[in-house]
Amino acid sequence: MLHYLLKRLLLMIPTLFGVMLMAFVVVQFVPGGPVEQLVFEMKGRGAGAEAAGGGGGGGLYQGQKGLDAEQLAQIKAQFGFDKPALARFWDMLKQYATFDLGESYYHHQSVWSLMVEKLPVSISLGMWTFLLTYLVSIPLGVAKAMRHGSRFDFATTFVLLVAYAIPGFVLGVLLLVLFGGGSFWQLFPLRGLTSDDWASLSLMGKVTDYLWHMALPVLSMVLGGFATVTLLTKNSLLEEIRKQYVLTARAKGLTERQILYRHVFRNAMIPIVTGFPAAFVGAFFTGSLLIETLFSLDGLGLLSFESVVRRDYPVVLGSLYLFSLIGLLTKLTSDLCYVLVDPRLRFEGSSR
């Protein structure tokens, strides 16, 4: 296994290099970069100053003449665009090798500090989405498999498919209208992760206030995810129940409960458990942009979107590097979970 782990870790290096190379090349051809945006902003200020002051000089701009070459060179140097593209790419790789993600053009602070600042929202949404999805879906899937073809099975399938068909953003708007003081009841807050007086609350008051704020956003994200995990659990159990070893276990006199929890359940959970890392990372880093915008939650999803719009390349490339690395490690963790759940599996060369 050690040889396999070492090989997979080494393969991450060219993979990360390819991802960052493609992203860097794309960035070079995207119009409206930070230099262009600053020049446009300064042109607007210069044109406004001339209109207000009768075209007097002294500013960076004189009418429609724009910046001179020296001022433009200073702006390029400010953003690091005075170097050739290859040199900038090499400098970026050296920084990322030491996990230095650079400094944001727009926020004027390190990318690391920005991401840490946004983590509480993303952790909250991801953690509760992950936990509620699996804590509800796995028992429900087991119950549906044991009652396959019953009214309970058909009724829950119908409810799950309806919930799956409703986009999270639409559900969030509906919940705000119903329970956020839109047109009916003011039961939950409209925005934020905590109340303004959160620091002055007691410990129980802080927990209650936090859960009160998270109820609607988490419900908007989690409801559509029940269907996938529930039906996957049910179908995995039904597939295992039909196998020959179940008939053998029944012939030996084992009860249905013993067969279910000693044999069937463990084998059926292999595709579920091995998907835990990817599901957690997916809930943690993706799919929350619209929910964050709707409920005014300043998380990583909103930060990434705003960085792309503002052409804040250090944040865009830095977050891409970090998320790619986490994704590769998550894939490796998922492969390791296969061995932990199913001892019959062996990595290359581990049986010798």
Q: What pLDDT does 119 receive?
A: 80
Give dist(CA 140, CA 135) in Å, integer.
Answer: 9
Q: What pLDDT does 158 receive?
A: 93
- Residue 181 Ramachandran class (φ > 0 left, ψ -120 to 50 alpha, else beta): left
Give dist(CA 240, CA 263) in Å, integer.
Answer: 9
Cβ atoms of residues 295 and 216 within 8 Å: yes
DSSP alpha helix (H) spans, 198-299: 203-222, 226-241, 244-251, 256-259, 265-268, 270-273, 276-285, 289-294
Q: What pLDDT does 182 receive?
A: 61
Distances (CA, A) of 330 to 36, 134, 226, 337: 38, 18, 22, 10
| 108: number of Cβ within 10 Å | 7
More confident call, 187 vs 60? 187
Min mean pLDDT across 34-43, 88-97, 151-160, 243-252 is at 34-43
Give dist(CA 223, CA 164) in Å, integer.
Answer: 7
CA angle (127 as vertex; 181, 280 as ends), nearest 5: 130
Q: What pLDDT does 345 receive?
A: 61
Give dist(CA 112, CA 99) in Å, integer.
Answer: 9
Min mean pLDDT across 96-105, 164-173, 213-222, 276-285 is at 276-285
Instruction: Of 27-31, 46-50, 131-135, give the range with the top mean pLDDT.
Output: 131-135
Q: What pLDDT does 47 receive?
A: 46
Assign 195 to helix, strand or coil.
coil
Cβ atoms of residues 16 and 318 within 8 Å: no
Q: What pLDDT does 29 receive?
A: 75
Helices 313-341 & 2-29, crossing angle to 10 degrees? 150
What whole-number percentage of the chain has pLDDT above 90?
Answer: 4
| Residue 202's pLDDT band (cuts 50, 70, 90) | confident
Average pLDDT, the chain: 78
| Residue 56's pLDDT band (cuts 50, 70, 90) | very low
Is the predicted pLDDT of residue 18 greater than 50, yes or no?
A: yes
pLDDT digits (tens, 9 = 90+) for 277-327: 667 666 666 556 778 778 878 888 778 888 888 888 888 888 888 888 888
Instruction: Spell out the domains of the chain, with CATH numbers in brackets.
Output: 2-97 (no CATH), 111-341 (1.10.3720.10)
Q: Which residues contact 128 (CB under 8 A, 6 or more apart)?
A: 214, 218, 222
Cβ atoms of residues 16 and 321 within 8 Å: yes
Q: What pLDDT does 42 receive?
A: 66
Q: What pLDDT does 124 receive?
A: 81
Q: What pLDDT does 346 receive?
A: 62
- Tokens, residue 341: 């759940």
Q: What pLDDT does 156 receive?
A: 92
Mean pLDDT of the region 249-272:
80
Amino acid present at 150: S
Cβ atoms of residues 187 and 120 within 8 Å: no
Q: What is the dihedral of CA 341, 347, 349, 351, to 10 degrees?
A: 20
pLDDT digits (tens, 9 = 90+) for 142-170: 899 888 888 999 999 999 998 888 888 88
